[in-house]
Amino acid sequence: MDELPIGRRVAYWRGRRKMSQQVFADRLGKSKSWVDKIERGVRRLDKFSVLYEIADILQMDVQLLLGKDPERRTDALNCIEQFEVEEIRAALERYDSVSAYFDAAPCPPPLADMSKAVTHAWLTYQYGRYGMLTRALPKLLRDAQAADAAYGGDQAQRAAHLLAQVYQISSSVLRKLGESELAWLAADRSIAVAQRADDQLLAGIATTRVCNALAAMGRARPALELNVTIANRLAPGGRNDTSPERVSVYGMLLLQGAMAAARIGDTATVEDLLDGAHEAAKELGGDQNHYWTSFGPTNVELHRAAAAVELGDGGRAVEVHLLKIRDAAFDALLPERRAHHLLDLARGYALIGDVANAGEMLLRGDRLAPSEIRCRPIAHMVMSDVLRRTRGAPPSLIAELAEHMGVGV
């Protein structure tokens, strides 16, 4: 990006923000012709006052607009930016294992250190600290790939297991931040590596990441079919064990299948899969976090509410929240799960026209895990809806959060 003329960078970031030239010109107080000439390099952009105004409209650091690395404030919440996406993309495009076949593998980190780093990354994700995680992912990917390429013998499966987890973490956070195609690539890599790790359950939970990415790209039906197929193969009982780990992975496959079914409006399948997940959750007795699933009775009800939202039934989502989810169990979940549910609940309230409660859910989610609200495109859509439908000036806390999110009326 830094080698592009500044006009091309303006055009690039305007496109990333999904603004037409006319909308951008209107917000800037300029003509569409002026914007077009700037972007084509016909007219120079050399006034700092205008540069800062453009950067503000595009919700970005002016240094990035100038082609320089932005200065990061330690006290600021940073969502992912394009240069970070490209770093992650570059790490995903490495093929250390193939290179190692022809030559010596790169010097890998000790597996004990890698294991600690992977656990830390999972917790960073489950606490909703997406900006911190995306900045750590490129190095974590490179280290895990180097370990997978270098270690053999008894350590090979452990190294593959860690790399598969790093791919899953990458897929999960990239999907949250709207990078669905990269999320699919990372999840697809995870399935292949999990097979080398000889762990069916790891491959099973990787399947849910693939299906989530497929659904985000508008391919909900194949996501539904794949989730159900793998759930049937991993189902507890028969020749399979009934360990809590297997029950958790099986339950999550059913839940993600239900979400995919909701995307295509298949209410009967949604209910069938949710009922199956509910029975699996009863086997566990409580919410647990095997394979980083957070699966259990409460998570089933969170997905029941989320599926209702996808089906367009906001009233049902609110009803599930009020009648089915116990406060103590909900408060015991990790921040990402709770904030995600509050975002779903905000969508549910918006569907029934209760923008006051929709805004309140966004505020509660922001207090729990700011990145879940401020960084996710779907949250921006909800906030825009709240602002648009609020009569008069929005409450001060809503206005402040909207400003932090970069969302205008």
In a domain, 141, yes or no: no
Domain interval for residue 346 = 342-409
CATH of residue 37's domain is 1.10.260.40
165-212 per-position pLDDT tens digit: 999 999 999 999 888 899 999 999 999 999 999 999 999 999 999 999
Residue 4 pLDDT exceeds 80: no
Considering 17, 36, 65, which residue would you say is the last residue of a domain?
65
Q: From 46, 65, 84, give the residue that closes a domain.
A: 65
| Per-residue model confidence (pLDDT) at position 107 | 74
180, part of any domain: no
In a domain, 60, yes or no: yes
Token digits of residue 38: 């700037």
Identify whether 383 is part of a domain. Answer: yes
Could you read off the pLDDT of 74-105 as tens digits, one per residue? 333 457 666 777 788 888 876 655 444 434 44
Q: Is 78 part of a structural domain of the chain?
A: no
State residue 285's pLDDT score: 87
Q: Is residue 160 part of a domain?
A: no
Report yes or no: 362 and 386 within 8 Å, Cβ to Cβ.
yes
Residues with Cβ within 8 Å of residue 291, at least 6 apart in sequence: 201, 202, 205, 245, 248, 249
Domain count within the chain: 2
Hey, which residues does 296 pair with through a beta bridge? none
- Report pLDDT digits (tens) over 18-41: 788 998 888 888 899 999 998 888
For residue 34, the one-letter residue type is W
